[in-house]
Structure 1
């Protein structure tokens, strides 16, 4: 059963430690800060004098790693991963980092994103004798890399070839006995940033992971860039994106990333605040109070309040200890889980006209439940404003979305959506309005889930069939 939100992706983190920092704990705290990007499994691999040791399990970061495990994971460099499955089943076999041995040695790999030609490549590799242990497209990357490595003197040369073969979105951190490598797909669809602490280099899906560790944000890894860190040569950069194109996922700013992260030189909270201001300009409405749906609707709610002068109130109490609503075993319990996760504060709602700000509407089911919660709390009117354009198309680049027939904006008009979610009115930010909120970011953006125009070809027939 799909939840009425686009699902988390994954988070990657890597450290090349030239100092006496505790590598495993740096990776641990980095993953802890990235936990919002995936809660199914987590793993850490470290390089201990040329030997890669690792631990990965199903569950949350804090539940998998304790002091004893972190003491065991001792090394001068390390990578980590938190996972939400977009391809491959939710099994411990699919947890990352992937650690593989091959003819030229061994390596560990962590990946955020999704390949659009993974099935085609998997079949080609299987025909040549490759045996796969997981169902993830990340293992396809690892298999291609291990085969290409035979032909080249360095793993970075092999990676250049692999990046010319794979299509889709990816942010990679790769560790070998002598190097730490970070790479980003040629369109930069998934975020990846580089930081520095004294003489040590750190990579992360988001800059929020740097703050608690005292790591200085240096810059984003460029689209198509491969960064190699080694003791012998220090930092080297290889650029494979000759056209200088980019297409960052717009939902990183709308929903996925933490508001305190800075991606492509733009703070996520600032983009969400601007979206709220644009929402008011495009869809003004008279009301008494504004309520933001926690958590990713709050930034836009602040912007809407600032632009409109309508007071923003704490309309909901969020229980942060309730898991994702779709894991409940029955529809009745799913309904209960919504009430457990969000409960309206009646004194702020009763007898008032309410503007409800949310980041997106996917299926419409949760939006309807939240609108009805506000009405049960005494709201006389509920006007829904959405800080993303209507989601009409599936994503194939690392975001878990329903098939197109289950996207409410793909099959219903605006008036029908209003009636289905029991609102008095509905207003979405326009695509042009959304893009205006990204002013200052050093990249262009993918808006394929709004327009159906994707920056990368969808190769596999299985993917094409669910558009």
Structure 2
């Protein structure tokens, strides 16, 4: 993705099903669980590099000994640093005789992460100031293990402001600026209420105080209290939590917007945002890893009992399609096939753009995430040419004029040519603050392979999506133009991104989308300023309705134009400035129909179509237009709607 997005955090969780001694005897280390957690996180490092956190809950710890531990960090390469520090601490305690690293009971007692429940989180900060305190997991401490709560997740709540207001009306003092705190306090509130009810029942029944903790722990209904907490949530989420007594839960939103996968073996129950890390880390087959069902909560009691309950009524399944297009690693077998299909689906548009001139076209991709789709595009182009060649040969045979020269012309001189033209210098940092100097640096984020594109050729470059168009204009097209092609065709495997997201991706400001800018420019050029003002008034009126009755009034901005008209305007807008090149630029986008055909099963596409899966989405998109029209920046769901 040339327009870098911060997005979609990653979770990893490991719940050991055997005592630590089992893993030491079988694998020669008491840190088997911690090692697996690190690997799960490392293989999902693509999902978050702004901050990292790990947590541990130990089962059946004697009174007086700590049972919950947490580490968080925002340093560069925080994931490796946190684990490196913990392993260093482990070795230091062993070296000084504080702990016997070959004695599982000694490790559990002395090493903070020598426990049975291990949680890990990779975070991208999507707004505001970002520091270590914003990293997951969040922790709510109590001197009652059954009231101590640790929570982390991959989520965004569209109604965080309203949820905070509920906390205020209860008399609480929420910390604004993060919906994670809201979720923690909401679950914590219901945990406190549930705990208090159990305590009073036992007290009134005459149960002695020292016998209450195990009875409360046994009776604690985590699934019920979390379901009560989630009743008002509007958003996309995968949330994982652990109670201090050793109860653990993982839940997924009712529409399956955010991903979550689970593996259960005799040794471990493990969760991750992506499927392949679980397969690789635990050497599992693809059919052993299951997706957590939307609207369900998996609970693991402290005694190891596993249950799967429904916490919300079934809703239309709308998993985020950007998981398939960009976010998830492409080594998942299904995602790999789907990304190739997205590339192949562009063939007819590409052939039309180059007028079928394969002999003077070089096909390439924008590194690195578009590479899989590029292979699909090349497969599709070769299939297209094979069909053309076959038809031509059959016709020549029928007419009796098949010659070696004709075969050479059909195949050897007119076959799709693929080259790696663009290279990304990942470590180049645009640290110069002055705009002119910064633009010069941005223009050199990419480099090219010289000599593979001849002057006058067509150059087709595949990208997985185009969001803002800034990098395309200031960097990619400038560097590609140095090859002196007669035309550069930039293809996006994703459709035009027209609407903001409010479920976890950092693309919430409507005015930053190149598709929106293009539509507005077309209206203004046609003198339709009144329509822009009318949509503003319509959006304001829409927000006066009950949340469940709101619709997307921003669609009117796009209704007057075809996809091709907006694409043509985008092509004009991203044309690089101040370069010695007079070639043509054309930007091609995937159609919604082809995207849906490429992805197996249902998918959410609200950022393309404006069809949001929750009421909060419709509220947010109208608010986003209002903020744009008023010249106000920032996320539209940070304010009450």
Fold-level similarity (TM above 0.5): yes
Map of 2:446 onto structure 1: 342
Query: C-alpha separation between the residues in 2 aligned to 1:90 and 1:428?
Result: 34
> CA offsets per residue over residues 277-298 of structure 1, 9 Å max, x none?
1011344233521111112211
> CA offsets per residue over residues 161-205 of structure 1, 9 Å max, x none?
122111100011112231221110000101100023542011001
Match of 2:365 among 263, 288, 292: 292
* Aligned: 1:414 with 2:431: no
Map of 2:221 onto structure 1: 154
Map of 1:192 onto structure 2: 260
SS of the equivalent of 1:295 reads coil
Correspondence 1:144-293 to 2 at 5 A: 144-152=186-194, 153-177=220-244, 178-216=246-284, 217-261=288-332, 267-284=334-351, 285-286=353-354, 287=358, 288-293=361-366
Say whether the 8 Å CA contact 1:169–1:185 is kept in structure 2. yes
Match of 1:401 among 486, 500, 507: 507
Question: Structure 1 stretch 212-221 or stretch 75-84: which is displaced more?
Answer: 212-221
Map of 1:4 onto structure 2: 3
Query: C-alpha separation between the residues in 2 aligned to 1:424 and 1:68?
Result: 51
Shift of 1:244: 5.0
Map of 2:422 onto structure 1: 316
The structure with the largest helix share of the pair is 2
Say whether the 8 Å CA contact 1:42–1:64 is kept in structure 2. no
Say whether the 8 Å CA contact 2:156–2:237 is kept in structure 1. yes
Query: C-alpha separation between the residues in 2 aligned to 1:459 and 1:355?
Result: 35
Shift of 1:207: 1.7
SS of the equivalent of 1:347 reads coil
Query: C-alpha separation between the residues in 2 aligned to 1:208 and 1:278?
Result: 25
Residue-pair matches, total: 456
SS of the equivalent of 1:150 reads helix
Map of 2:39 onto structure 1: 29
Measured at CA, do residues 461 and 250 of structure 1 come closer, stay the same or move farther in structure 2, by a change above 3 Å? closer
SS of the equivalent of 1:290 reads strand
Shift of 1:131: 2.8
Question: Structure 1 stretch 371-380 or stretch 246-255: which is displaced more?
Answer: 371-380
SS of the equivalent of 1:346 reads coil
Say whether the 8 Å CA contact 2:17–2:304 is kept in structure 1. no
Larger radius of gyration: 2
Measured at CA, do residues 340 and 99 of structure 1 come closer, stay the same or move farther in structure 2, by a change above 3 Å? farther
Map of 1:41 onto structure 2: 51
Map of 2:467 onto structure 1: 362
* Aligned: 1:429 with 2:590: yes
Map of 1:53 onto structure 2: 69
Query: C-alpha separation between the residues in 2 aligned to 1:432 and 1:461?
Result: 26
Taking structure 1 as the reference length, the TM-score comes to 0.91
Shift of 1:401: 0.6
Shift of 1:328: 5.8
> CA offsets per residue over residues 387-417 of structure 1, 9 Å max, x none?
0110010000000015112211113122111
> CA offsets per residue over residues 230-252 of structure 1, 9 Å max, x none?
35352210023433521101111
Map of 2:81 onto structure 1: 64
List runs of 5+ in structure 1 lacking aligned partners. none
Say whether the 8 Å CA contact 1:24–1:46 is kept in structure 2. no
Say whether the 8 Å CA contact 1:9–1:86 is kept in structure 2. no
Measured at CA, do residues 318 and 419 of structure 1 come closer, stay the same or move farther in structure 2, by a change above 3 Å? same
Say whether the 8 Å CA contact 1:349–1:374 is kept in structure 2. no
List runs of 5+ in structure 2 lacking aligned partners. 24-30, 62-66, 91-111, 195-219, 383-415, 519-565, 576-583, 626-641
SS of the equivalent of 1:78 reads strand
Shift of 1:334: 4.0
* Aligned: 1:329 with 2:487: no
* Aligned: 1:105 with 2:112: no
Map of 2:172 onto structure 1: 130
Map of 2:131 onto structure 1: 91
**What is the RMSD of the two structures over their aligned residues, measured on CA atoms?**
2.3
SS of the equivalent of 1:243 reads coil
Say whether the 8 Å CA contact 2:261–2:274 is kept in structure 1. yes
Say whether the 8 Å CA contact 1:87–1:114 is kept in structure 2. no
The structure with the largest strand share of the pair is 1
